[in-house]
Amino acid sequence: MRLALPLAVSAALLSACAPTPVPGPEMAGDDARPVRQCFNVEQVRNFRQGNTGQVFVRANRDVYELNSSGGCTDLDFAYRLAIVPDVGGLGGGRVCTGDWARIIVPGSTQSVSTCRARVSRVLTAEQVAALPSRFRP
């Protein structure tokens, strides 16, 4: 019994690090589950504020849209930000579509400004090209 609990916890933690499946023909059909697309916060190379509550981040080759739940101030003048997953460190620095994260920005009126945002989607190349240039990371 003493060994069962640590093994169960280890299995749960390792499953959080499992790779996300890439959509393919085997996932087509009515019973297909949506695939969560993920990035590591250390892969973020650029960001831009979109409309109210929107933040677009470039992580390697992909552009992700994050939507804040309010309070993301100072983003329009920020030169840097940090994204911290809201999962309490269980997934490491990995954030996937559908996940909540905290956006931390050096503030102008406070030392830092923090808000929560949800990773809503990955933009296609066409969607990135259709963004106004001021929103494009």
Summarised one tens digit per residue, pLDDT across range 75-134 is 777 888 999 998 765 667 899 999 999 999 887 677 888 889 999 999 999 999 999 999
Residue 37 confidence (pLDDT): 93
Higher per-residue confidence, 13 vs 60: 60
Sorted by where each begins, the domain ranges of the chain are 38-137
Residue 69 confidence (pLDDT): 76
Each residue's pLDDT tens digit, 16-75: 444 444 444 444 445 555 688 999 999 999 999 998 889 999 998 999 999 987 767 777
Instruction: For residue 8, give the H/E element and its range.
Output: helix 4-16
Compute the distance between CA of residue 13 and CA of residue 33 in angstroms, rounded to an integer. Answer: 22
User: What is the 3 state secondary structure string of 26-80?
Assistant: HHCCCCCCCCCCEEEHHHEEEEEECCCCEEEEEECCEEEEEEECCCCCCHHHCCC
Answer whether 29's CB lies under 8 Å from 48's CB.
no
Each residue's pLDDT tens digit, 61-71: 999 999 987 76
Answer whether 55's CB lies under 8 Å from 48's CB.
yes
